[in-house]
Structure formats: C-alpha cells, structure tokens
Amino acid sequence: MSARTAVRAGWRQTVWGELLSEFLGTFVLICFGDGVVAMAVAALNQSGRGTQIFAASGDWLLIAWGWALAVTFGVYVAGGVSGAHINPAVTLALAVRRAFPWAKVIPYILAQVVGAFVGAALVYLNYHNAISSYEAAHHITRGALGGDADSTATFSIFATFPAPFFHSSLIGPLVDQIIGTGFLVMFVLALTDERNQPPRMNLAPLLVGLAVAAIGMSFGANAGYAINPARDFGPRLLAWWAGWGKVAMPGVHGYMWVPIVGPFVGGVIGAFVYDLFIRDVLRARGEPAPAEVEAAGRTVKEEADST
C-alpha cells in the first residue's frame, strides 16, 4: 500500500469511519421507515391504488412491518463497522451499562441525527408531489395545527405526535415512550448477550426488526412509537424546514421533547432491568459463552464488560 493510499484509508480506521456507518445506517432506517408512512398517508391513495389512509389495522400493519424492515436493513448496513446503534437511546444505554466510550456518545448521536435528517429529506424529495396532491384534495394547509385545515396527517409522515385522547397532558405519551424504548433496549441486549441465547447465522438484525414490529403493534398507537430520538428529531427538523412549522416544532402542546427525553430514560431503564433480571443471574451462575459465538462479535464489539 502506498503512503498516499495509507493516509486516505487511515481516517476510516478512526471514529470517523464509525460515524459514517451510523450516518448511513440511520439514513437507511429513515428512508424506509418514513417512506412506508408516506406510502400509507399520501402515495397509495393519490396514485389510484387506494382511497383511504390509516384504515385502522390494515395500514398500521403496513407501517409496523415497514419500520421493522427499515430497522433490519439499517442494522445490516452498519453493523460490521459501528455496531449499528442507529438510535441515541441505544448509544446512551451502552455507555451506561456496556462501557461504550463516553467520548463517542455525542459524535454518534450527531451522526444519527444527521443521517435521519438526510433520510427524511430523500423521502420528501421522492414524495413531495403525492403529499401536495393529498393536501390539495383534502383542503389541508401545511403548517396548520387544528381546525379543518389541520396538517398533522401529512406531518405524521416524518415524526410523531400524541393521540388526542391524552388531551393536553404529555405524561401519558412520556410514559409510553419510556416503556417502548425500555423494551427495545432490553431486546437488543438479550439478542447480543453471548451468555444468553444469541441468534446464530447473523440473524440478530432481523430479530431486532421483529422487536420493533412487536413494539409498534403492541405499544404504537399512543404516541407513534418513536422510541428513537434521532428517528423523531431529524425528520421533525426536516418537516419544520419544509413548511410544517409549529406542527413540527414545538409540536402539539409542545410535544417535541417527549420522543427525545422518553427514549433516553427508557433505554437506560431497559438496560438496568435486563442486567438485573437476566445478565447478572447468568454471570452469577457462571454461564459460559457458547463456543460458536464470538465474545466480541461484529455487532457487539463496543459492548465490553463494565463490571
């Protein structure tokens, strides 16, 4: 290898290579996650392939499975380099409970937010005609919050909002986000715990995607199961820039902080719960890692034992 080639390759061996991985993994996540919502909200019914949006269980299943596949392929894309956190709540939980370097936490989160913003921008580029058509057909004024011209339906392509049965209270949605993200991180840790029952044949990304589908189908209606601060904030920022204004930021009843704070809290709680009930028990019983499972495999290499 020439000196010039070595220099060009060298930066990829630093944290910058990991940040590129987190950016691209989160970009893929949002492209296919927001993309499936754009299909359900605007594209299908404006393309002659349907007439309704959110036809209860049908569209919700489409969205839940779309997000599941989005997570799966986001993790497959980035897993070999950065471990594919693609979620600031996961990054924080790994720093708190798995000795992930604290110096990398903020850079990872920034890469994830930027990836989410760019992914949402690509979705908007691809679907802006369908969105505009839907707004015109239903007399929606982009940026209107409440009333006959309310634009929450098209905003929902990009970010989340609380169900109206919470009225002005944000306590319920906050609890919802804590619960959903707690389960997510618990499942991620279970699937990457070499002492437990880790999946073989590199199936962990697929199973993480199934975990997201389960959370969406069981805990999704209250607040749209953001369970990922970057997934919500990056596209929310894009929606604000694209004209949704106060619907995006600060959101109905100032909602925008909930899918940021809730997942951070829930992720750490989920990690503590998993360790208390499962990991610490396995370690106390002296359970060895199976011989065929790498102790520092490609998707868990940043999860060194912290105790």
- Domain spans of the chain? 3-284
Question: Both tokens of residue 11?
Answer: 């930066």
**Which residues of the chain fall below pLDDT 70?**
1-9, 11, 49-58, 289-307
- The confidence score (pLDDT) of residue 48 equals 73
Question: Both tokens of residue 282?
Answer: 């396995």
Question: Both tokens of residue 178?
Answer: 């804590």
Question: Which helix (H) or strand (E) covers residue 93, if one does?
Answer: helix 88-97
- The confidence score (pLDDT) of residue 290 equals 64
Question: Both tokens of residue 117?
Answer: 């913003």
- The confidence score (pLDDT) of residue 58 equals 67
**3-284 architecture in CATH?**
Up-down Bundle (1.20)
Give the separation between CA 43 and CA 297, rounded to whole angstroms. Answer: 40
Give the separation between CA 160 and CA 166, rounded to whole angstroms. Answer: 14
CA 221, 227, 232: angle at the middle one, nearest 5?
95
- The confidence score (pLDDT) of residue 141 equals 97
Residues 37 and 156: beta-carbon distance below 8 Å: yes
How large is the C-alpha radius of gyration of the chain? 20
Q: What one-character-per-residue DSSP string does 201-247 give?
A: TT-HHHHHHHHHHHHHHHH-TTT-----HHHHHHHHHHHIIIIIGGG
- The confidence score (pLDDT) of residue 47 equals 78
